[in-house]
Amino acid sequence: MIVILAGGTGSVKLVRGMAAITDDIAVISNVSDNIWLHGLYVCPDIDTITYSLAGMLDKKKGWGVSGDTFSGLEQMKKMGQESWFRLGDKDIALHIFRTELLKEGKSLSDVSDMVRRRLGIKAQIIPATDDSLQTMVLTDKGKMHLQEFWVREKGKPSVKSVSFEGLENAKASRIAIDAIRKAERIIVAPANPISSIGPIIALSEIRKEISKVKQKVVAVSPIIGRSAVSGPALKYMKAMEVENSPVGVARYYSDFLGTMIISKTDSRMASQIEKMGIRTLQTNIMMHNRKDEIRLARYLLK
C-alpha cells in the first residue's frame, strides 16, 4: 500500500496521478482547514481529494464541484448571512450529508469513508484525526482561522505566526496509523509544508510512526527555486522561519524524511539536503497535465 500525506489543491495532482496507476492507496488528509459555517461542517482538503478522485473537481478553481452554481449562497446573502466562503449548490449536498451523520455520532473517518465509497472511489481517504484541530493565523489584524485569513481576507494581512488549535487533545486516527504501519512507501505530497502537511505531522503519533520508517518516506518538494508551487506557502514559511527553498522544507521534515525529490533545476541544492542525511533525487516535478501527474507518480513508485 502507498500512503500519501496530503493537503488540498497542491496535493491533488499527485494523488490523481498515483490513483491512475494503483488502487492500493491511502490518502491521509489534513483536517485543520475544516470550519463550521452556516451550521455545516466544511472539510476543504478531504473534499478536494474526494472530488478529484471522483472526477468531479472544478479543476480551474482547484476546489468545489465542476459546473457548480451558487444560487443557495446568493439567497443566504439576501438574508444577511455571510457569503465570503463560496459553498456551491452541488457541494452543499455533501456538507448536509456529512453534518447529519456527524450529528448522529459517526466519526469524520466513518463519514469520509462512506462518501468516497458512494462516489465510487477505490483509494482510502483518511482524516489525519477525528478530533478538532484548526489552523489559526496570527496576523496584524488579529488571530483568525486559516479560511478567514485566506478566503475572507484574501491572504492580505501580514502573518506573524501559525498555530494548530486543539493539538494537545487531538489523537491521530487509528486507521491512519494502521495504514502507515502497512505502507510500502509513504509519500509527502508537494503541498504547503506549514498549513497542509504541518498539521498532519504535528500529530505526535503520526510523526513517531513515520520517523520509525524514515527510509520509506519520500517527499516531493513543494518549492522550485524560491517559488512555492501554489498557495500562500511562502507567507506562512516566512512567519515560521522556514527557509523558502527545497533545503528549508527538507530541514523542516528532516526528522522523518528518507528521500526528497527536487526539481532538476535545483540540483545545486542537493548537497545541502544530503548533508542532513536525506537522499536526494532530481527530476521534473512540475505537473501541468495528466501525463505529468502519472509520470511523477510512476517515478515515485520506482
User: Shortest distance, CB of residue 138 to ligand FO1, whole angstroms?
Assistant: 18
Residues 136-155 binding ligand FO1 (CB under 6 A) are 147, 150-151
Please list the alpha-helical segments (H only) found in 119-229: 146-147, 174-182, 198-201, 204-212
Distance CA 224, CA 99 (A): 39
Any idea of the CA torsion for 148, 237, 46, 78, to the nearest 10 degrees?
20
> x-or-dash pattern for ligand FO1, window 183-212, by CB under 6 A?
-------------x----------------
> x-or-dash pattern for ligand FO1, window 21-50, by CB under 6 A?
------------x--------x-xx-xx--
Which of 203, 170, 209, 205 lies closest to 186 in space, CA to CA? 209
Of 2, 6, 50, 64, the one binding ligand FO1 (CB under 6 A) is 64
Helix (H, G, I), strand (E, B) or coil at 187: strand
User: Shortest distance, CB of residue 269 to ligand FO1, whole angstroms?
Assistant: 26
User: Shortest distance, CB of residue 184 to ligand FO1, whole angstroms?
Assistant: 27
Q: Is 8 in the site for ligand FO1 (CB under 6 A)?
A: yes
Task: Give residue for cell 474526494.
Answer: 50
- Per 3-state DSSP, what percentage of the chain is helix, strand, and coil (rounded to 5)? 45, 20, 35
Q: Is 85 in the site for ligand FO1 (CB under 6 A)?
A: yes
Query: What does the binding site for ligand FO1 look like in residue numbers (CB under 6 A)?
Result: 7-9, 33, 42, 44-45, 47-48, 63-64, 85-87, 91, 147, 150-151, 196
